[in-house]
Amino acid sequence: MTALLDRTETASRRPYLSRGVGFAGISAAMVVILVAAGAPTPLLPVYQHQWGFAPWVLTLAFGVYAFSLLVAILVIGSLSDHIGRRPLMIAALGIDLVAMLMFLVAPSIGWVIAARVVQGVATGAASSALSAAVVELAPERFKKLGAQMTSMAPLGGLAIGALFAGVLAEFSSNAAFDVWFVLAVVMAAGTIFAVFTPETATRKPGAIASLNPRISLPVQVRRLYWTSIPGIVGGFMTMTAFMGLVPALLVAVFAVKSPLIGSLLAFVALGASTVASAFSSGIRAPRLRLAGINAMILGAVLFIASIGTTSLPLLWAAAVVGGAGIGASFAGTTRGLVPEVAPHERAGLFTAIFFVGYLAMGSSAIIAGLFVGVVGAASMAIGFGVVVAIVTVIGAVATVRLNRK
């Protein structure tokens, strides 16, 4: 009788979906969360036209997302190791659904900023749980694909989100409603899907203690990590330029009012980054990292020149070259660091990487927004490009010195 009850209880707990289906669905959910994160890029100028707020508010709306995501990663990043992947995935997707609904009914920019904060928390909470679940759910023959998904989905999702929202902003009479309605429906479907996804992690004690913010960096990679920081900062600042600054610059400097152009620039930059990351597996990590940093230096120079000469072709070139530099530099950095640490040390390593990156993204966006009102959009953008160039040059010098040693 006891054995029968045990079998019945086990059957009642058995997930409805196979691991293969779960892998496909959770991979899609990971992309969708980043699609939603990229969607505000072309919509912020639309909100500005409707509500008439100052240009610095655009960068504030971008920066608060990065800070809330950073806090979520620090606090919740390792929680799924203790309570399981599925509960955190369900919660994160549900919170992101709340953010979509806040965007959908937003009557003012204050609501949009609040929704970005909620969205940042959801994305940060989902990042570790979804990434781990994708790798663990992947069938044996697709393990490499699972690992690639965790590196390509963030950049690819952001690119698709910017393009999706930009197309609707260009051709729809009520773009904001259409974008957030579609994403709310998709996010609701993803939340329901996660409920029926098999659990891949065993619960263990220490959930409360894991909420204590901390960064753990293994001793053996500290020198490489510190020399990689300028490249990480330069990469995230380059993303900030094309996702947080360019939409406002197109209006203020280039007199381009079409939201589709801004979304295409973001799509090109992030798409080039995704391609560089995906098709550079045969290049040794130190050489790839240096090539990526050099590309970001050139991209920053092209960005500065495009603003100084009011040349859109140069801005497109900056998107391609700088975007490819982001992907190559980040791929080279992670491929150099990850093999040097034990599996149980990887979460702490990625937390250290993303802490620096999102701190640079959020702070640079907000500082740039404050300077817009003081020196103007063009001077702010040129100054931003100069900072990116200086930081990446430092990264190139540090990488060359480390490679020689």
Looking at residue 23, its pLDDT comes to 76
Place of tokens 């263990």: 204
- Each residue of 342-378: b (16+ CB within 10 Å) or e? eeebebbbbbbbbbbbbbbbbebbbebbebbeeeebb
pLDDT beyond 90 at 147: no
pLDDT beyond 70 at 9: no
What is the reported pTM? 0.84
Quickly count: other Cβ atoms within 10 Å of residue 279's Cβ.
Answer: 12
pLDDT in tens, 277-299: 888 878 888 899 999 999 999 99
Strand segments (E) across 34-97: none
Per-residue pLDDT band for 58 (boundaries 50, 70, 90) equals: confident
What's the farthest any 2 CA atoms get from each other in the chain?
82
Question: What number is the average pLDDT over the span 229-246?
Answer: 92
Question: What number is the average pLDDT over the span 186-209?
Answer: 84
- Cα dihedral across residues 50, 52, 54, 60: positive or negative: negative
pLDDT beyond 90 at 184: yes
Euclidean distance between CA atoms 240 and 362, whole angstroms: 8
Quickly count: other Cβ atoms within 10 Å of residue 297's Cβ.
Answer: 22
18-200 adopts what CATH topology?
Growth Hormone; Chain: A; (1.20.1250)
Per-residue pLDDT band for 199 (boundaries 50, 70, 90) equals: confident
Q: Does domain 218-405 have CATH number 3.40.640.10?
A: no
* Amino acid, res. 130: L
Question: What number is the average pLDDT over the span 255-276?
Answer: 90
Euclidean distance between CA atoms 387 and 300, whole angstroms: 9
Closest CA to 332 of 324, 344, 343: 324
Euclidean distance between CA atoms 106 and 328, whole angstroms: 38
Question: Is there a shared CATH topology between the 18-200 domain and the 218-405 domain?
Answer: yes
Task: Provide the CA 48 distance to its chain's centre, in angstroms.
Answer: 24
Percentage of the chain lying above the pLDDT 70 cut: 91
pLDDT averaged over every residue in the chain: 85
Looking at residue 300, its pLDDT comes to 97
Looking at residue 6, its pLDDT comes to 43
Euclidean distance between CA atoms 341 and 172, whole angstroms: 49
Helix, strand and coil content of the chain, in percent to the nearest 5, comes to 85, 0, 15
Of the given ranges (176-180, 257-261, 335-339, 369-373), which has the lowest mean pLDDT?
335-339
Euclidean distance between CA atoms 236 and 67, whole angstroms: 13
Of the given ranges (4-18, 72-86, 111-125, 172-186), which has the lowest mean pLDDT?
4-18
Question: What number is the average pLDDT over the span 40-62?
Answer: 84
Question: What number is the average pLDDT over the span 56-77?
Answer: 86
- Per-domain boundaries in the chain: 18-200, 218-405
What Cα–Cα distance (Å) separates residue 1 from each residue in 6, 8, 36?
9, 11, 50
pLDDT beyond 90 at 198: no
Of the given ranges (91-95, 239-243, 332-336, 401-405), which has the lowest mean pLDDT?
401-405
Closest CA to 100 of 193, 189, 197, 172: 189
Per-residue pLDDT band for 320 (boundaries 50, 70, 90) equals: very high
